[in-house]
Amino acid sequence: MEKELDSETLDWRSVCPIASGLDVLGDKWSLIIVRDLIQHGTRTYSEFGDSPERISTNILAARLKWLTSLGLIEHVDPERASRNNAYRLTASGLALRPVLEELGRWSQNHLKALHPDIVDIL
């Protein structure tokens, strides 16, 4: 109860849609989780840890809770709360696909000089 990271307790910086999007997704990990779910459809807790970015377990747990409270992801089986219960995107989460596509496209076009190993897929 020290830190309730919950969509109720969020204070928005402004009424701007871009700023509001960043209030919610403007960190280094949330969109990585969304990306994994777009690529794989569903993913269990430990499968998220297999991605090359190597998210640590405490951050993963916090972000999954956060994205769930926002309604962007959900458990595949709403009953069985854990033990190999995978996560998947809701319709809201899936709607982020164009955002990720544009971001990936931009990175490929404008980050190659700084990061030559960057790769060509979503």
Interface contacts to its own copies, rule CB under 8 A? 7, 10, 12-28, 31-32, 35, 51-54, 70, 92, 95-96, 98-111, 114-115, 117-122
- Tell me which of DNA, its own copies, none is bound by residue 89, counting a contact when its beta carbon lies within the kind-specific cut-off of 5 to 8 angstroms: none
Q: What distance in Å separates the CA atoms of residue 36 and residue 47, rounded to the nearest whole number?
A: 9
Q: How far apart are the first and last CA of the chain?
A: 38
Burial of 3 per CB tally in 10 Å (0-12, 13-18, 19+): exposed
Taking the least distance from each CB to its own copies, the nearer of 17 and 78 is: 17
Which of 66, 96 has the CB closer to DNA?
66
- Which residues form the interface with DNA (CB under 7 A)? 3, 27-29, 44-47, 54-59, 61-62, 64-65, 81-86
